[in-house]
Amino acid sequence: MVEMGCHVCIKLNPTLLGQAEVRRLLHDVLGYREIQLHPSAFENDLQFDEAADLAPRLQQLAHRHGRSLSLKFTNTLVVKNHKHVFGDELMYMSGAPLHVLAMNLVQKFRERVPLPIPISFSGGLDPHNVAAAVAMNFVPVTTCTDLLRPGGYTRLVRYLENLGAEMRLVEASNIAEFVQKYRGQGGDVHTAGLLNTPILVAEATANPRYSWERNQGVPRKIGSKLWLYDCINCDKCVPVCPNDANFSYETRPETIEYGNFELLPGGTRRIPGGKLRIMKSHQLANYADACNECGNCDVFCPEDGGPQMEKPRFFGSLETFLRDAGTNGFFIDWDTRTIHGAVGLERYELAVDPAVDLAWFRWRDAEIEIRLSDNEVLSWEPLNGSKAASFTLDLLPYLKLKALLESISDPRRVHFANVAGLQEKYL
């Protein structure tokens, strides 16, 4: 505030309630007895008395320098990862139980510090409690966990609809009037927000919708395993992605019978191969550069494996592909019409030229020329100065890359993975 001239908002932790009170609310009132608290978080974080003393002094300092101080209730709650769901020792609780903790902390703070310090609120906000949060004179109210449920960002419409309905009930034409009229408190907006606080906190704490009993269910799995193509096409992975990294595309359903090839020093020889079956036209993929692998799509996907891992993961640059492709990644170079792919433990490149009905498939130390129309291997040559040797070419990775390149190139569906190519083609 002083050295950099910034307005400041301090985000507070629910540990300010104290370990005993958090345990009482979480375990005894709400019933989340399986959640294990992390004592060090309570010991090492800012203590309540310190926060209650610090906030008024910082507000005075802010006013002296023409700046503002505000508080945000609250951060997530640090808890033990006792089931080893993630790789770390700790995990961070949000959602329904956090809402009750955050509301109770606001009440505790306002009882100690009734000054008009602006408060922003987050923690388990959804369409059903947004009106009560606004009525406590929080500015702004923010949401996160609810947007990770099916519907994603489209759920925000219900927030405004429900808030509008509550405002009409009390005949409020603006937020200040709503705060003053919501529980008939009157007075200025700050005073009304203070008076509304204990009433609405008590209602939230007693509301069974925040209890373990109402929130113990988990999304159902059906026992099937995801792979590169085809799934049940519920599309749940698309709206629940907070980064909009999952997308749909269209492909051509087909069963491709293919032969494999022995690549010999003097030519090639066809050997028995297999079948690639793509049963559905509607397919799903992931744009890896926008994905932080939060796993939310895996939570809601009825099938096993995780869409963010098993569906084709497209990268926006060769650099990110080479660094992060793992065992399932792809990058399309639109200038050379080449798709780079990581399939299993191998990496491949496929360049195509439909005008001459040819493709060039690079794998290990070999470049193989293939006729696009019937997938017949025409010739091959060693690369990088390697000596000619015998290889057995499994054509399946080639067919996967070819189908992906053809499908993702379709201009009828615009998405992360093809927008760069469409810009070059149509602009």
| pLDDT, tens digit, 9 for 90 and up, residues 93-113 | 999 999 999 999 999 999 999
Q: Please give the residue that has the higher pLDDT: either 73 or 388.
A: 73
Angle between helices 96-112 and 189-206 in degrees, nearest 10: 140
pLDDT at residue 268 tops 80: yes
The pLDDT of residue 88 is 80
| pLDDT, tens digit, 9 for 90 and up, residues 47-74 | 999 999 999 999 999 999 999 999 999 9
Would strands 376-382 and 366-371 be described as parallel, antiparallel, or unpaired? antiparallel
Q: What is the C-alpha to C-alpha distance for residues 418 and 337, in angstroms, rounded to an integer?
A: 12
Angstrom distances, CA of residue 282 to CA of 147, 238, 253, 287, 418: 25, 13, 9, 17, 16
* Residues ≥6 apart with Cβ < 8 Å to 343: 327, 328, 397, 400, 401
Among 151, 152, 148, 130, smallest CA distance to 140 is for 130
Q: What is the C-alpha to C-alpha distance for residues 427 and 418, in angstroms, rounded to an integer?
A: 14
| pLDDT, tens digit, 9 for 90 and up, residues 300-320 | 999 999 999 999 999 999 999
* Residues ≥6 apart with Cβ < 8 Å to 352: 337, 338, 358, 359, 360, 372, 402, 405
The pLDDT of residue 254 is 94
- Which tokens in the block code for residue 375? 């997938």
The pLDDT of residue 89 is 86
Q: What is the C-alpha to C-alpha distance for residues 342 and 401, in angstroms, rounded to an integer?
A: 10
| pLDDT, tens digit, 9 for 90 and up, residues 318-365 | 999 999 999 999 999 999 999 999 999 899 999 999 999 999 999 988
| pLDDT, tens digit, 9 for 90 and up, residues 178-207 | 999 999 888 899 999 999 999 999 999 999
The pLDDT of residue 193 is 97
| pLDDT, tens digit, 9 for 90 and up, residues 142-175 | 999 999 888 888 899 999 999 999 999 999 999 9
- Which tokens in the block code for residue 205? 């704490």
pLDDT at residue 423 tops 80: no
| pLDDT, tens digit, 9 for 90 and up, residues 371-382 | 999 999 999 998
Handedness of CA 48, 132, 76, 81 (dihedral sign): positive
Confidence of residue 426 (pLDDT cuts 50, 70, 90): low
Mean pLDDT score of the chain: 93
How many other C-beta atoms can be found within 10 angstroms of the C-beta atom of residue 43? Answer: 10
The pLDDT of residue 150 is 84
Question: pTM to 2 decimals?
Answer: 0.79
Q: What is the largest CA-CA distance in the chain?
A: 93
The pLDDT of residue 185 is 85
* Residues ≥6 apart with Cβ < 8 Å to 408: 249, 285, 314, 332, 417, 418
Q: What is the C-alpha to C-alpha distance for residues 36 and 123, in angstroms, rounded to an integer?
A: 19
- The ranges assigned to domains in the chain are 8-215, 246-426
- Summarize the confidence of residues 81-98 as an average pLDDT: 85
Q: What is the C-alpha to C-alpha distance for residues 211 and 26, in angstroms, rounded to an integer?
A: 9
